[in-house]
Every structure is written in structure tokens, then in C-alpha cells.
Chains A and B, each alone.
Chain A
């Protein structure tokens, strides 16, 4: 076990850190608009920091996940934003590399890396929610390929997206997991309508996608017809790979900001604040080293270890506690810290954390059944 980088990782970190210093705007903004994020993504791509773990033949750097982890840590520390095409690079790209046709790979992979084509993901539906297998969006055969009808919801970045990795039912199969197919949907096809969903934080990064007799070509099918469940699971597995490290790195940076806020408003002596901050720090360190354990398992065996299943569960709760504490610290002290608006928004946004990307209840169920071997719940 090592607490420090290998020489190669350390060199990568040092170069990246310098690059971030040279390329991030002075006085990193609290939030980034879409145009700023697009510009940032182009810079990342030019510098070779998009697709760090993608194979070289598909335009990536072919590096192991630990380099992706270094990237996550350093970009969080520097206050850099997400890649605008975070779903394309982190989830859709790796799925295409694994299951896409050579034509699909050629058509999409370079443009995903460059940020030219932005992807969203259309798995969830109003009546499905956490029960992904009850997808009802229908795909029927058509002389030109398929016709899609239905409704998707909670699609991150769909308002910006050029394409959507979409799960639809192609066959009323005897079991619910069969008869599903994945499509690479052109969001500009006639019949596609995107409606932003405004959250309590005021953000509109989730969307509703309405599909009204949308014709998609036959070569828009990703993987085999009827094997959509496997494709979706491949995509979600990639979400859980190094994503835990990304979340934890951001949480660590947030805690750093909270410490600054506590100092700025003179709350450093409050015993309750001290206690809660210490507990959050311990939680961050615990998540961080658990992330490293999961990452080591991923590098050794190709799959993250069972401990990775706790990362998102505990991150979401810690993130909520952190934002709550920040607002409480600032409450009644308006104007003493210019991060107030940021923290207020974080508090409201973080409520989503225990729902998005697998609810806490679903995640506890996964731990109970798949890790602890408890019987299926009813």
C-alpha cells in the first residue's frame, strides 16, 4: 500500500497542476456558463486531458484509471469545471468502445473527445424511476429503421446535447430485462422535444425529452437489438468506475471552501462548528481512501471492489451535511462572505444527491443483496 503517487503519477500530477495554473482564468468563477464550459473542454482536449483512460487507437491517452483519479483531484482542487461532455466522455464513449460498431466508433468517438458532439443519457422515465427495467418508451420497426414514441425524464444536459443514448422497448418480451434496445438518438430529429426541468435550486440541468414518432435509422442501434439492458449496465458500470474519486475530490475542495468561509465569518471558535467540520473532514478522508481501494481493485482486476458501492451513498449524505453547515454558519451574517449565494444554491442542489444516480434506498438495497448476500427485498 502506498500513500503517495508513483514517479510517473507524480510527474503527471505536476504537469497537470502547472497546466491548470496557466490555463484557468484568474479568480476562478463560482459557476461557469455553457460557453465558458465549452471553451474549457476545447482546451482540455487540445492539452490531452480528455479521454485520459480511453485507448490510444480511439484518440485517448491509454492511461490507467489512477491517472483519471489524479485529474479528478487536481481539477477539483483548482476549481475547474466538469468537461461539458461529461456523459459522452465518462459513459457513452467507453460503451461505444466496448460495444459500438466500427462505423459508430469512427462517427462519434473523435467528436465526443473534442466536445464537438455532446451526449445526454435517456434511461429514466416518469413511470419507471428507479425501476429501470420498466421502461415504456416504444421503438417499432419502420422501413427506414425504427420509430420512437415515449417520454424520458431527468436527462442531464439534454438541453445542450446533440445526441442521446436512449433505452427503449423493442419487444414485449416475457421478462422485463429482455426486449430493450439502446439507440444513439439525434436530438435534432423531427419529433424530439426537450423541456428543461427547473429544480428547487433554480438550476435547469435536468430535462424532460418527449418523443413523438421520431424516426431513427437502423444503424442508430448500439449493441444488439434486444440487448439494451446489457448496454445500459455497461454505461452505468463506467459511471461507477472513477466517478467516486471525482465526487470525493470535489467534496474535499468544498470542505476547503467551507473552512475559508468559517474563518471569513469568524465562526472558527464555535465548538459545534469545529466538531462538525472535523467530522466532515474524517468522512472526506474515509471516502478518499476507500476510493483508492476501489481504484486499486479496478486496476488489478478490471472491476471496482465491493467497497466502491458505499462511495456514492456516503458522498451524497456528506455533501448535504456540508452545504447545510455552510448555510447555517452564514445564516444571520449576510454580506460577510461573497460565497453566500453559492452555498445557498449548493444546499438546495445537494438535496438531489440522494436521488440522482441511484437513490440511497436503491444503493443500500444493492449493498444488502449483492455484497452482504441478504435475501431479495419485497
Chain B
């Protein structure tokens, strides 16, 4: 049995966390959040540090995503590394900077206009579109969904950003009116890249959720050790201590499920199996249910432990809470993971499997 991060992986995670907590103390995170802005200058440093290296496996990326959640890293790394990146890599390319993905397979048409592809239609809920140099767009080319890239500064591209719960992760609706597309992939290759992108986006978002919850728990622990009431630190009261112990349990269980999902997806990719397989679907669904829920619960417990301070605008905890809530609504909007699990368990033709083997 071997199901824990290696020393090398732990070092990677620690270095990432060290860099991020150094560069983004909560006050600075709050500053970006107040202005709904990202640290757009940070990207070259991330590239230099190897955060985009092609040899990072999904487990390593999940560890980086955890660190992003812990620090509330104000950079469009997730939108780049999740749904968009597999399309570039499958086409033998690297993203030109921060990018994002827009699924217009049912709402966008691609037509070939002599020498170039032109895209028309709209893309809903494109995450961090405002910070993307390019978008990967799934559009129908007459045969089926194909993947294109579109530059966000192209005259045919209009972005309208939405206000959301989390100002550090805003989505936009993107209108395409004869936007110039560069064809990346068609046919089965495009389908495979879309599936890979979706799976990676889920794994990295779930890992990020664990990091978010972890930070909220850490803040609450620090406060519970220091804050004295009735002549004792409040962490010595079981009502407080047990609540935090439950947060820890939720987060450790969620962490195990996101590691499992990362390994399951990586294994499936290595086998060249892009189609749904039982254990990948199950691993993703389990992580999708448990990770954001654990993060939300940890943030809510932390708010409670901080008492009045926890509900103020000035105290930065709410920015983490917002991210946890965003992660949960992102998953709910995408799929009903509980139904996926129940369908698989109670399908008449399938006997319950207790092991993946």
C-alpha cells in the first residue's frame, strides 16, 4: 500500500505554500478582493517556479491547488490549468499566459471563412475571463464540437463580467461575433481534451477547497489558543475544541478523496482511457460532494469561533468563506454528484463494489 504524498511532493507543497503566504498575507489578499483584481504581474514568477511544467502530474497539481486555496492566491491559475490546458497540450502547444475555457458546444458556431475560422455565439460562465489572454472555446464546426482558441482582445469578442459572491473569482458572459478562431482539435481528440479538462478542473477545484478549509481551520485554531474568556483560552472549552476537531475530520476525509480522484484521473489518462470508467466517475463524484462541503463547514465553524470578529467586513476570513461557497455552487451547477453516486450504486445490473480492484 502506498497512498500518501512522497517527500518530494511534500517539499513541492511546502515551497508553494511558503512562497504564497509570504507574498500574499491576508491584508494583501483583502486588497485584491476589495478591487475585484488579480495579481496579474505574478504569472512570470509562477512560470519560473515551474508551476506550469509539463512534467507535473495531477497529484502535484492538486497539491499546488491546495496551496492556492490556503493562500487564496489571486491569480487565474485554476482556470488555466483546469479545463483549458489539456486542449493546448493535446495540440502540442503551451498557453500564452493565463487562459480560460468556455463551453459553447451548444451555443457557438464555427464557420470557415476562406483562410480563417470565424466564431459566433455566446459562452456562459467563463471563469476569470477578464484575466485571460486567450480562451479555449468549444464550438460546433458543422460536424460536432471542435476546440478553438480566441484572443480576448479580438474585436469580435465582448466580455461582460458578473458580480458574484467571490470577487477574486468572477465569471463573465462572452459574446463572439465573427471572432477569429485558431483551430486546436477536432473530432475524438477534441472530445478527449474536453473530458480531460473537465476532470482536471474538478480535481483542482476540490483540492483548492481543502486548502481553503485548512486555512479557515488554522485561523480558528490560532484564535482559540489566544483568545481568553472566563479566564481560559476558548480552545480549552469542549464546545469549541470539538467543533474544530470535527472540521479537521471533515477536511482529512475530503483530502483523501481528492488524492484518490487525482490518482484515478491520472491513471485513466496514462491508460489512454478518456471515456467514463466507473472508478474515475465515482472518485470525482465523491470528491465533488465532500470537498466543497468540508470547506464551507470549516469556514462556518471558524466564523463561529471568531464570534463577532468573524462576521465583520474588516476581518479577512469572509474572503475564504466566499471562495468555499463559490466552489460549492460551481459543483452544484455542473452536476448532481450525489445522484451520480446513487445511480451507480443502485443500478440493477451493477453489484456494489467495495474495492477498485
Contacts and interface: CB of A to CB of B under 8 A. Distances in A.
> A and B: real partners?
yes
Interface of A: 1-6, 9-10, 13, 65-66, 69, 73, 76-77, 249, 252-253, 255-256, 259-260, 262-263, 268, 274-275, 277-279, 281-287, 289-290, 292-293, 295-297, 299-300, 305, 307, 310, 313-314, 361, 363-365, 367-369, 371-378
Contact of A374 (B244, B267, B346): B244
A262 B346 contact: yes
Q: Specify which of A263, A268, A372 lies most central, judged by the most chain B CB atoms within 10 Å of its CB.
A: A372
A292 to B, nearest CB: 4
B357 A371 contact: no
A368 B242 contact: yes
Contacts of A69: 1
Contacts, number: 182
A376 B225 CA distance: 10
Interface residues of B, number: 56
A314 B249 contact: yes
B84 interface: no
Contacts of A2: 1-3, 263
Given A2-B263, A4-B356, A69-B1, A286 B257 contact: yes
Contacts of B242: 361, 364-365, 368
A310 B342 contact: no
B1 A374 contact: no
B4 A368 contact: no
A260 B345 CA distance: 10
B348 to A, nearest CB: 7
A364 B236 contact: no
Contacts of A277: 342, 345-346
Interface in B185-230: 217, 221, 224-225
B345 A281 contact: yes
A137 B171 CA distance: 67
Q: Specify which of B4, B259, B262 lies most central, judged by the most chain A CB atoms within 10 Å of its CB.
A: B4
B166 interface: no
A289 B252 contact: no
A302 B355 CA distance: 26
Nearest to B5: A1
Contacts of A281: 286, 341, 345
A364 B356 contact: no
Contacts of B94: none
B275 interface: no
A172 to B, nearest CB: 29
A374 B221 contact: yes
Interface string B162-201: 0000000000000000000000000000000000000000
A141 B217 CA distance: 52
28 contacts: A1-B4, A1-B263, A3-B3, A6-B2, A69-B1, A73-B355, A255-B352, A268-B346, A274-B339, A274-B346, A277-B342, A281-B341, A282-B257, A282-B286, A282-B289, A285-B260, A285-B283, A290-B253, A295-B1, A296-B2, A296-B4, A297-B4, A300-B4, A364-B245, A371-B245, A374-B236, A374-B240, A375-B236
B236 A378 contact: yes
B267 to A, nearest CB: 6
A295 B1 CA distance: 7
The main secondary structure of chain B at its interface with chain A is helix
A173 B240 CA distance: 34
Given A13-B357, A278-B345, A289 B245 contact: no
A305 B4 contact: yes
Contacts of A4: 356-357
A277 B256 CA distance: 20
5 cross-chain pairs, A with B, having the tightest CB-CB distances, nearest first:
A66-B1, A292-B3, A368-B241, A286-B253, A289-B256
B254 interface: yes
B233 interface: yes
Given A263-B348, A268-B346, A365-B241, A285 B4 contact: no
B108 interface: no
B354 A73 contact: yes
A287 B225 CA distance: 29
Contacts of B352: 255-256, 259-260
B345 A375 contact: no
Interface in B324-357: 338-339, 341-342, 345-346, 348, 351-352, 354-357
B306 to A, nearest CB: 15
A175 B107 CA distance: 75
A66 B4 CA distance: 13
A355 to B, nearest CB: 16
Contacts of A262: 346
Contacts of B245: 363-365, 367-368, 371-372
A65 B3 CA distance: 13
A180 B3 CA distance: 39
Given A1-B5, A310-B249, 10 more contacts: A77-B355, A259-B352, A282-B257, A285-B260, A286-B253, A289-B257, A310-B248, A314-B253, A364-B245, A374-B235
Nearest to A282: B286
Q: Specify which of A76, A286, A314 lies most central, judged by the most chain B CB atoms within 10 Å of its CB.
A: A286
A297 B237 CA distance: 31
B356 A3 contact: yes
A253 B354 contact: yes
Contacts of B342: 274-275, 277-278
B153 to A, nearest CB: 41
A97 B341 CA distance: 45
B1 A278 contact: no
B345 A293 contact: no
Contacts of B351: 256
Interface in B254-284: 254-257, 259-260, 262-264, 267, 279, 282-283
